[in-house]
Structures are given as C-alpha cells and as structure tokens.
Chains A and B, each alone.
Chain A
Amino acid sequence: MKGIGKRFPGVVALDRVALEVYHGEVVALIGENGAGKSTLMKILGGIYQPDEGSIVIDDQPVSMHSVADALHLGVGFIHQELNVLDNLDVAANIFLGREPRWGGFLKLIDRSRMYAEAQTHLARLGLDVSSRTPLNKLSIGHQQMVEIAKTLSQDARILIMDEPTSSLTLSETERLIGVVKDLRTRGVSVIYITHRLGEVREVADRVVVLRDGRNAGGISREEIDHDRMVKMMVGRELEDFYVHPQGVVRQPCFEVRELRTRRYPQHAVSFKVNKGEILGFAGLVGAGRSEVAQAIFGVDPPVDGKILLDDRPVKVQAPRDAIGRGIYLIPEDRRTAGLILEDTIRENITLSSLPRYASAGLINFASELEAASDIFRKLNVKAPSIEEPVGNLSGGNQQKVVLAKWLSLKPRVLIFDEPTRGIDVGAKAEIYELMRGLAEGDVAVMMISSDMEEILGVSERVAVMHEGQLTGVLERTECSEEAIMSLAVGKE
C-alpha cells in the first residue's frame, strides 16, 4: 500500500500512509485508537475506498470496491467482533453462501461433502472440534478459529486480524499465536492489529506504528522492545503509564468470607481489601473472577458466604442493595451492562443517583445537569456535549461515563472488571490515574484484569483465581508474571 490517504468529513483519517507486507510475514500494526489502523485495514479489506494512493499485490496494481473484490484477490479480514451465526454449526458457517451443491437446479446442499471439507479445514488449524458442533456450543476462541478457517478456505493469502485476542483467554491467545506462526510457515502473510504489546514481541516479524493517521515508524524483529513501541505510539515515556504505589501499612475495610458463587458453589472464596489499595484479580478467563464480582454486586447473588464492609455485614440480593452501601461494579461489558447507549451522557451519569436530584419523585433538571456537568468536566470526557448519546463516544470515553456514574455517588468499594479492554493507550493512562486517585481517597478498589501488564503495573496486591478457586494472594514484592501464572493455571 502506497501513499494511502483517506478523509472523512472533518478529519483526515490517513495521510499518505505506506505499508509493505512480504510473503509469509507477520506484521504487527500498532497505534492508539484513532491512529488509523482500522481505516487502513478497511481499505485493504475492500470496505472503504481510498481517496488517494495505490494498492499493489504481487506487483499488480489492484483496486477493490467491495469485500468480495478483496477476497477474490486473497485478502481476508478477521474482525474484532466475530461475524458468525451462532445458531448454525461449524461447517455451515465456514461455507456460508458457498455451500457445495448437488441435485442440479434443486440446489440442494451437499451435506456430506460440506462436513468433510469443513473438518479438513479445522484439522489444518489443529482444531479438535466436530464440524457439526453448533457455534453457540463453542468458546469465543474456538468461534474465532472457525472464522479463520472460513477465511483460509477462501484461499486468503493476506490475513488481516483486528485485535484477535481482545476477548480470548490466555490459553486461547497462545493457541491463536501458534496458529498465526503456523500460517506464516505456510506462506500466508498476516497483518496483526493489537493493543497488547506483549503479543507483538511474540508473534511479529516486523512492527509498523501509526500515529494520528501517519506512519510513525517501523521496528524490525530484533529491535522489538516494549518501551520503544509505546514511545512511538504515544510519544511519551512509559513512566507516565503505570503508577507504582508506595509501600505503606493499610487497614482492611472490605472483606469477603467464604463466598460461594452459583457457578462454582464447591469453592469458597475469602479475601480482604484494604482501604486505599488496588487489589488486582488475575486469572484465566473463566476463572470465576467476574462471578465473584457479580455476586458481591448482587447481579447474581451469592449462594452462601458473608460480605463485610467496616466489619458490618452487607446483605446483597440485587445491585441496588450493594449500591445502597457504596459498593459499585464497573462491568466487563460496558456496552450492554454499563451503559444505556441511546441515552445521553447526562442521563447515564445520573441514572443511579437520580432520586438525589428529585423532590416528590419529580426530577429537578437544573440540579441534575449541574451535578452531571461537574463530574463530566472532572473526568475530562471527550464529547461535543453532555447531551450526546454515549453510543457515539469512543471506548475510553464510554468507560469514563460508567465511572462518572459511580463517582457522582460516594464509592466505598469499587470493582473494575476488565477496565481498559478495547481502550486506547492514552485513555488507559487516564483510567489508571482515576483508579489511583480513588484508592488514595480511601476507596477499596478491586481490579479484575486479563492483561498481565496491567495487573503487574497497577495492583498493590494480586489475588489469583483458578476455576472458581482463589489460589493465592500475592504481596507486591512477590508479584511476577511467573508467580501469577503458576497460581492461575492451578499448579502447586
């Protein structure tokens, strides 16, 4: 791709960007959100047309006007959000729209051939799944593999993967990386977009960094280095990135005793959170961390156990009980559980605290607006106005709105579930800062995260879970990637 330019009304999304990919090479494309990665890839994938520049594949200048054109030229696109029909089985998904036929004009589906061929495609990815399994019986990781199998079955030579690991567990991520490496040896070129710099080091032959719609530089395999990538992406030092707390003696204020969740009733979970600390929760996806959080918050009330705040028991049957005691959850899925996307920023911020701005059940709009604007400014939410529907905001700003909802109340315990998933580096730093500020304000903060760097960088202590069991709580001095991992996989 040479000199690619793309303008949208009001913004230049790409300004003379170049990208080269060789046969059998894995190129990591990194940059903050809004840096132009997705736009560039959408041009290569035939979704957008460039305003200027050219695309050359195997020395042939090409033009693509649709996804079908791109596929025809061997460019496959695995989107961040999965494009699968989860009520159909694996083979039906792989061959969707290109089902093998028989029976002449009747156009019946040749089922035996379809299932057999699908099975070989799966085997080639080392996937041990029957092609007759309905997709909704598979994990997200496996569903994604099916999508990759689908793309490869269409003879893709260039595979674009947009944040393929953002919703995968650690072991699924490892498997995906294995598949990518395998594809490389088979001569497939992969363009790999990610926010996880650890993966870049592992998988990429070369790194291309975009910043503000321009090429910000490239790094070859030998020189790939975390700090260097971060610097290129944001033009700032790593030090502003994570805040390291000082070692001080803290008082416990929140305690969970023998808590049993509905998903893992066989395991009782007990831990304490100190006033002013951030307790990280590490573990593989499915380790039961979100279940614990949801039990504490009352979304899925605990089947047994005690929750104590300042040594006083808290009875939680529904989120409103937890909220009444100042225990808040920032859920993993902000778009479905954290926010009402059609509502404005103001309405979302005040949703939990509305009775405060009302008398006799009637809302006082002036005081509602004042309170919401106050917190809106304090959190530096980037939006044209507070009356903007939150659905129009970027992930980072949406997350700030979720946070604003709780900050307008008085938090005692704040549980973050994957607080920075899908959020760009700049907004991440702001969220960490807010978390730190909250902890310093004597809020007990819990942070569930599958991002190891985040766990290590932000937490003061780290609780590790494995399949519903709390396998250990590490003090800051004991924390290392290896120590956490060995607890997370459930080894002694």
Chain B
Amino acid sequence: MRKELGTFALLVVLCVVVAIINPRFLSPANLQNMARLIGLYGIFSIGMGIVIITGGIDLSVGSVFALLGVLLSMMLAQWHWPGALAVLTVIGVAVVLGLIHGALVTRLRIQAFIVTLCGLLFYRGLARFIANDETKGFGTGAGFEWLPKLATGSLFRVPMPFVLMIVIGAIMWVVLHRSVYGRYLFAVGRNEEAARYSGINARNIIASSYALSGALAGVTGVLLAFYTNSISPSSHGNSLELYGIAAAVLGGCSLRGGEGSIIGIIIGAALLQVLQNLVNLLGIPSSLNFAVMGAVILIGVIADQLFKRRSAPA
C-alpha cells in the first residue's frame, strides 16, 4: 500500500506542478486526451502486472498489437466480417498466444523473458509479412461504425478507453484482491514450491496469467488499432510492453513476483501519461521524452529503495 501511496503522491505533485507552469494542462481537451491514453495503456498494463505478480514477464505485447491490428483491419476492411466476430476473433488469438507463452513457460520451463522475447520478434515479423509490409486501415468503416467509437468516443465526456479501463480495473481488482484465484496468483509469485506443496496447481495458475495478459492485450489491441486508425506493421505498438512494465513497477509490482496491486498499476500507467504530457506542455524537446521518463522512474525506484532501507528493522 505504501508504494502505491508514494506513486500517487508523485502523480499529484507532477499534476500540480505542470498545471501551475502551464494552465493548459487542465483544459478539457488536454485532460480528455490524456485520459484516453491512460485508458489504452492502463488496460494492458493490468495484464502485464498480473504476469509480473506471478514472477513472469511479457515482452511480446507491443508486437501482438501490430499482429492484431493487421488481422483486424483485414477481417473488417478486406473480408468484411461482422464487427463483433472480428473483435472476438482477435481477442481470441491474443488469448491463444498467451496460452502458448504460458505453456512454454510452465511445461518446458523456459524463462518467460526468452519465450516472450521470441514472441516479440516473431509476431512483429508475422504482422509485416501478412500485411505485405503495407500500412493497413479500416476504409470507410461501413458496417462497424460502433467499433471506432470504443476508442475515440466518450461517455458523458469521459473517453471510452478510460471508462473501459475503470470497468476492467474494477473486475480485475475483485479477481486479484478478493478471489481465491487472486490469492493463488500471489502465492505462486511468492513461493511457487510452497504453493505446490499446498495443493495449488501452480503451473496452471502461472499459465493462466499469460492468457489473462493476452486477453487484456487483445482488448487494447482492438482499441489501439482504432485509435491510430492506421496500422503500419513495422512500428505499430512498438515498445509499448515497456510502458506496461514501467507502469506495473511504478505501481508497486516487484519483478521478483508476489507483489503488486491493480490500483497501483493504474496509478503507474497514469503517471507515465502525465510525464508524456509534461514533456509536451513544458516545451521540453520531444526527443528528450524517453530520457525524462527513464529519469523519473529511476528516481522513484531509488526513493522507494532508500525509504525501505530506513524503515527496515536494524
């Protein structure tokens, strides 16, 4: 809880500082824009966080976005599938990919880092091949007008992705913090052997976390495709998995596993978007974008470490 509070305090301070320096931060357009991005990033960051809680990692997310985007565009614009079917298929593909990762990690005992790194390379290549390396779009959008609205529309002026994130976050909060399954996820992340000795099917729990991450990546993949509205297979979703990892770590997840919370992850995702926004609004050269983010995350982790050392019993 303490770590979440720290990140939250950092978020508030950043918001206040940026708002004072540049009042445009608080303009409805800016806030909406930011909330939309927080929603998009928040959803898959939750999935990433759950994998990290079990002690794993999922590096393939960004490439999965590209693959899903390409597939979605082809289903809708070329093959004229019904919208709902296309969306469900795409999310299904993401779940299956997650299950494959999970199976490789738990059955063959390959390190998650390697499995999903191979995924990162493989899906990117596959997406480019399927798309002939051409940028894909959704044409006129006839027949599935409701779909882009999920990414670009708003509900009572709140951007839809943000609304979806809150809904998904609430569901995942219950799953992670109130359910038997959630308790098992933490148990497996803290001590897989002891969990197994307690009768928990540790391998299935771990594998399921990749499927869950896949499902949430699938949802984000759909939203992201409509958000950008054009999918260039070589760059779509590039390195977004790193945002997910950063959000999870800022939100209190430990890469050693067994720690983290949904609220923390969402705060972490929000913090990253505020940082992006700060770079834009404060007139910092956008080339420094990543440098600023890296520095802030590092400072946050250092502060946390120093605080931990001071409060630890001598």
Task: Mark interface residues in B180-195 (1 if CB within 8 Å of A CB, else 0).
Answer: 1101101100110111
* B299 located at the interface, meaning its Cβ lies under 8 Å from any Cβ of chain A in the complex: no
In the complex, what residues of A have CB within 8 A of residue B201's CB? 318, 320
What is the bound-complex CA distance between A297 and B193, given in angstroms?
13
Inter-subunit contact A323/B180 (CB<8 Å):
no
What is the bound-complex CA distance between A336 and B196, given in angstroms?
11
CB distance from A219 to the nearest CB of B (A): 36
Which 5 A-B pairs have CB atoms at the shortest separation, nearest pair first?
A: A323-B199, A320-B199, A351-B198, A340-B191, A352-B198
* B117 located at the interface, meaning its Cβ lies under 8 Å from any Cβ of chain A in the complex: no
A 288-322 contacts with B by CB, 8 A? 297, 299, 318-320, 322
Contact A337/B179 with A342-B190, A342-B258 known, Cβ cut-off 8 Å: no
* B178 located at the interface, meaning its Cβ lies under 8 Å from any Cβ of chain A in the complex: yes
* A355 located at the interface, meaning its Cβ lies under 8 Å from any Cβ of chain B in the complex: yes
Inter-subunit contact A352/B199 (CB<8 Å):
yes
Inter-subunit contact B190/A337 (CB<8 Å):
no
Inter-subunit contact B198/A405 (CB<8 Å):
yes
20 contacts between A and B (CB under 8 A): A318-B201, A319-B198, A320-B199, A320-B200, A323-B198, A336-B193, A337-B193, A337-B194, A339-B191, A340-B187, A340-B190, A340-B194, A343-B190, A354-B183, A354-B184, A358-B180, A361-B179, A362-B174, A362-B178, A405-B198
Inter-subunit contact A343/B187 (CB<8 Å):
yes
Inter-subunit contact A351/B190 (CB<8 Å):
no
What is the bound-complex CA distance between A340 and B194, given in angstroms?
6
A 362-419 contacts with B by CB, 8 A? 362-363, 405
Inter-subunit contact B199/A339 (CB<8 Å):
no
Inter-subunit contact A336/B200 (CB<8 Å):
no
* A141 located at the interface, meaning its Cβ lies under 8 Å from any Cβ of chain B in the complex: no
Task: Mark interface residues in B89-108 (1 if CB within 8 Å of A CB, else 0).
Answer: 00000000000000000000
Inter-subunit contact A336/B198 (CB<8 Å):
no
Inter-subunit contact A336/B191 (CB<8 Å):
yes
Inter-subunit contact B199/A347 (CB<8 Å):
no
In the complex, what residues of B have CB within 8 A of residue A297's CB? 197
Inter-subunit contact B194/A299 (CB<8 Å):
no
Chain A: CB-nearest residue to B188? A340
CB distance from A52 to the nearest CB of B (A): 20
In the complex, what residues of B have CB within 8 A of residue A323's CB? 198-199
What is the bound-complex CA distance between A342 and B53, given in angstroms?
14
20 extra A-B contacts, CB within 8 A, seeds A319-B198, A337-B193, A355-B180: A299-B197, A319-B196, A319-B197, A320-B201, A324-B199, A331-B197, A336-B193, A336-B194, A337-B194, A338-B194, A340-B191, A340-B195, A341-B190, A341-B191, A347-B183, A347-B187, A352-B198, A358-B180, A361-B179, A362-B180
Inter-subunit contact A319/B199 (CB<8 Å):
yes
Contact A358/B200 with A337-B194, A342-B258 known, Cβ cut-off 8 Å: no
What is the bound-complex CA distance between A363 and B199, given in angstroms?
17
Chain B interface bracket (under 10, 10 to 19, 20 to 34, 35 or more):
20 to 34
Task: Mark interface residues in B192-235 (1 if CB within 8 Å of A CB, else 0).
Answer: 01111111110000000000000000000000000000000000
From B179, B187, B199, name the one whose CB has the most chain A CB atoms within 10 angstroms: B199
In the complex, what residues of B have CB within 8 A of residue A336's CB? 191, 193-194
From B178, B187, B197, name the one whose CB has the most chain A CB atoms within 10 angstroms: B197
* A287 located at the interface, meaning its Cβ lies under 8 Å from any Cβ of chain B in the complex: no
From B174, B179, B198, B258, name the one whose CB has the most chain A CB atoms within 10 angstroms: B198
From A299, A319, A347, name the one whose CB has the most chain B CB atoms within 10 angstroms: A319
What is the bound-complex CA distance between A320 and B204, given in angstroms?
13
Instruction: Summarize B's interface: helix, strand, loop or mixed.
Output: helix
Inter-subunit contact B179/A339 (CB<8 Å):
no
Inter-subunit contact A358/B190 (CB<8 Å):
no
What is the bound-complex CA distance between A338 and B187, given in angstroms?
12
In the complex, what residues of B have CB within 8 A of residue A318's CB? 196, 201
What is the bound-complex CA distance between A347 and B184, given in angstroms?
10
In the complex, what residues of B have CB within 8 A of residue A361's CB? 179-181
Inter-subunit contact A363/B178 (CB<8 Å):
yes
What is the bound-complex CA distance between A375 and B194, given in angstroms?
20
* A158 located at the interface, meaning its Cβ lies under 8 Å from any Cβ of chain B in the complex: no
A 323-354 contacts with B by CB, 8 A? 323-324, 329, 331, 336-343, 347, 351-352, 354
From A297, A323, A341, A342, name the one whose CB has the most chain B CB atoms within 10 angstroms: A342
In the complex, what residues of A have CB within 8 A of residue B174's CB? 362
In the complex, what residues of A have CB within 8 A of residue B200's CB? 320, 351
A363 touches which of B183, B190, B193 (Cβ 8 Å): B183
What is the bound-complex CA distance between A341 and B191, given in angstroms?
8
In the complex, what residues of B have CB within 8 A of residue A405's CB? 198
In the complex, what residues of B have CB within 8 A of residue A351's CB? 183, 187, 195, 198, 200
Inter-subunit contact A362/B187 (CB<8 Å):
no
What is the bound-complex CA distance between A342 and B178, given in angstroms?
18
In the complex, what residues of B have CB within 8 A of residue A340's CB? 187, 190-191, 194-195
What is the bound-complex CA distance between A338 and B199, given in angstroms?
11
CB distance from A368 to the nearest CB of B (A): 10
What is the bound-complex CA distance between A340 and B181, given in angstroms?
16
Chain A: CB-nearest residue to B258? A342
Chain B: CB-nearest residue to A324? B199
CB distance from B113 to the nearest CB of A (A): 21
CB distance from A404 to the nearest CB of B (A): 12
Inter-subunit contact B196/A299 (CB<8 Å):
yes
In the complex, what residues of B have CB within 8 A of residue A363's CB? 178-180, 183
What is the bound-complex CA distance between A120 and B73, given in angstroms?
74
CB distance from A386 to the nearest CB of B (A): 16
Inter-subunit contact B197/A338 (CB<8 Å):
yes
Inter-subunit contact B199/A358 (CB<8 Å):
no
CB distance from B134 to the nearest CB of A (A): 45
What is the bound-complex CA distance between A405 and B194, given in angstroms?
12
What is the bound-complex CA distance between A319 and B200, given in angstroms?
8
From B180, B187, B195, name the one whose CB has the most chain A CB atoms within 10 angstroms: B180
Chain B: CB-nearest residue to A343? B190
Inter-subunit contact A339/B180 (CB<8 Å):
no
CB distance from B138 to the nearest CB of A (A): 38
In the complex, what residues of A have CB within 8 A of residue B193's CB? 336-337
From A297, A318, A322, A341, name the one whose CB has the most chain B CB atoms within 10 angstroms: A318
What is the bound-complex CA distance between A354 and B201, given in angstroms?
13
In the complex, what residues of B have CB within 8 A of residue A324's CB? 199
Inter-subunit contact B179/A362 (CB<8 Å):
yes
In the complex, what residues of B have CB within 8 A of residue A358's CB? 179-180
CB distance from B258 to the nearest CB of A (A): 6
In the complex, what residues of A have CB within 8 A of residue B195's CB? 340, 351
Inter-subunit contact A354/B197 (CB<8 Å):
no
In the complex, what residues of A have CB within 8 A of residue B183's CB? 347, 351, 354, 363
In the complex, what residues of A have CB within 8 A of residue B190's CB? 340-343
